[in-house]
C-alpha cells in the first residue's frame, strides 16, 4: 500500500501574527515557520501505518516556495520515505492545491491520501474535500480514529452530535482531527538520515495545472481590541445599558 500525506509550511503556531504595514497580508519575513499542526498529525498517522507494515511507502508532498523543502525534510525525519515538492511562488488557493494534489495522485497512484483538515493560516478546511471530489474518491473528514482492513478504511469522525464511523473503499481521502494521534518529535539520527532521502521537484506546468489566483485580497486588518467590561449594580442597570447604550434589546 502506498500512502501520500500533505505538509504545508505555515507561520509557527507560537508566533504572534503581525499584519504588514501595507495591509496586503501578514508578515512572514524573519518569522519562524513550521509544519502545519494538522499535517503533523497526518504524517504521524502515515508513519504508524508504515511501521505496522500496513503501508509499504509513505510520500510527503508540499506545495509552495523552495523553502518548503525544509517542511518535507521534517516529514522525512519523522519517517516518510521520500518527498515531492511542487515549487511555485504563486499564492495557492485551496482549489489550486486540490488540483495539484489530484494530478500527483494520478501520477503516483496512492491507496490512501491523508490531509490535515485545515491549515492554521488560511483556516479554510476545503482542500481535502475538493481533492476527494476531483478524484471521485470517498472521503472521511475530521478523523479521530483510522483503521485499515483489506481494501476498506474505517474512519471514526467527529461530528456535532458526537462520533460517526464510516467505512470507505480504498483508495480514499482522510482529513485529520486533533485527537487522531500525538505527533512524534524527530530524533537527531533521523534528521541526519532525512538529508539523504530523495525529494522530487515539479512545477504546476509539469502537472498541467493552472494555479492562477481566483481571489484578490483587498486589505488585511487586525481585529479591534476588546473594550474593558463594566460592573453594574443590579439587573435594572444592566437592562438599561443594553437597551440605551448597546441598543441590543
Domain housing 63:
2-244
Cβ burial of 205 (10 Å; 0-12, 13-18, 19+) is exposed
Give the span between the Cα atoms of 172 and 158, in whole angstroms: 18
Q: Tell whether 214 is covered by a domain.
A: yes
Q: Which three cell numbers stand for residue 173?
A: 481521502
Give the span between the Cα atoms of 3 and 111, in whole angstroms: 6
CA dihedral 180, 185, 189, 193 (to 10 degrees): 50
Q: Tell whether 191 is covered by a domain.
A: yes
CB-facing half-sphere around the CA of 201: CA atoms within 13 A:
8
Give the span between the Cα atoms of 74 and 36, in whole angstroms: 11
- DSSP lists the bridge partners of residue 168 as 153
CB-facing half-sphere around the CA of 78: CA atoms within 13 A:
30
The CATH number covering residue 6 comes to 3.40.50.620
pLDDT at position 246: 85
pLDDT at position 229: 84
pLDDT at position 225: 82
Cβ burial of 247 (10 Å; 0-12, 13-18, 19+) is exposed
Give the span between the Cα atoms of 242 and 247, in whole angstroms: 6
pLDDT at position 120: 93
Q: Tell whether 120 is covered by a domain.
A: yes
Q: Tell whether 221 is covered by a domain.
A: yes
78 membership: H or E segment, kind and range: helix 68-78
Q: Tell whether 87 is covered by a domain.
A: yes
pLDDT at position 102: 98
Instruction: With beta carbons less than 8 A apart as the criterion, state whether 124 and 41 touch.
Output: no
Q: Tell whether 189 is covered by a domain.
A: yes
In the block, cell 479521530 appears at 144
Q: Tell whether 86 is covered by a domain.
A: yes
Residue 179: Cβ within 10 Å count: 14
pLDDT at position 135: 98
What does the pLDDT profile of the chain (249 residues) look like in tens digits? 999 999 999 999 999 988 998 988 888 888 999 999 999 999 999 999 999 999 999 999 999 999 999 999 999 999 999 999 999 999 999 999 999 999 999 999 999 999 999 999 989 999 999 999 999 999 999 999 999 998 999 999 988 888 999 999 999 999 999 999 999 998 999 999 999 999 999 999 999 999 999 988 899 988 888 888 889 999 999 999 999 988 888
Helix (H, G, I), strand (E, B) or coil at 167: strand
Task: Identify the CA nearest to 167 among candidates 188, 150, 186.
Answer: 150
Domain count, the chain: 1
Q: Tell whether 249 is covered by a domain.
A: no
Q: Which three cell numbers stand for residue 224?
A: 479591534
Amino acid at each position: 500500500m502506498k500512502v501520500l500525506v500533505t505538509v504545508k509550511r505555515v507561520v509557527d503556531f507560537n508566533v504572534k501574527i503581525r499584519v504588514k504595514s501595507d495591509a496586503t497580508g501578514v508578515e512572514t519575513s524573519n518569522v519562524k515557520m513550521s509544519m502545519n499542526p494538522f499535517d503533523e498529525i497526518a504524517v504521524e498517522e502515515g508513519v504508524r501505518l508504515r511501521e505496522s507494515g500496513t503501508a509499504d511507502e509513505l510520500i510527503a508532498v508540499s506545495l509552495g516556495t523552495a523553502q518548503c523543502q525544509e517542511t518535507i525534510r521534517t516529514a522525512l525525519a519523522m519517517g516518510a520515505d521520500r518527498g515531492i515538492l511542487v515549487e511555485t511562488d504563486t499564492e495557492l488557493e485551496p482549489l489550486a492545491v486540490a488540483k495539484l494534489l489530484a494530478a500527483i495522485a494520478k501520477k503516483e497512484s496512492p491507496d490512501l491520501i491523508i490531509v490535515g483538515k485545515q491549515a492554521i493560516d488560511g483556516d479554510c478546511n476545503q482542500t481535502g474535500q475538493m481533492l476527494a471530489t476531483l478524484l471521485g474518491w470517498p472521503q472521511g473528514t475530521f478523523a479521530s480514529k483510522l483503521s485499515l482492513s483489506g481494501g476498506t478504511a474505517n474512519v471514526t469522525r467527529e461530528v456535532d452530535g458526537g462520533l460517526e464511523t464510516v467505512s470507505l473503499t480504498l483508495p480514499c481521502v482522510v482529513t485529520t482531527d486533533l485527537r487522531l494521534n500525538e505527533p512524534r518529535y524527530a530524533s537527531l539520527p533521523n534528521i541526519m538520515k532525512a538529508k539523504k532521502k530523495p525529494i522530487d521537484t515539479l512545477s504546476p506546468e509539469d502537472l498541467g495545472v493552472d494555479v492562477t489566483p481566483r481571489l484578490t485580497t483587498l486589505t488585511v486588518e487586525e481585529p479591534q481590541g476588546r473594550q474593558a467590561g463594566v460592573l453594574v449594580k443590579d439587573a435594572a442597570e444592566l437592562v438599561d445599558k443594553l437597551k440605551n447604550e448597546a441598543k441590543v434589546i
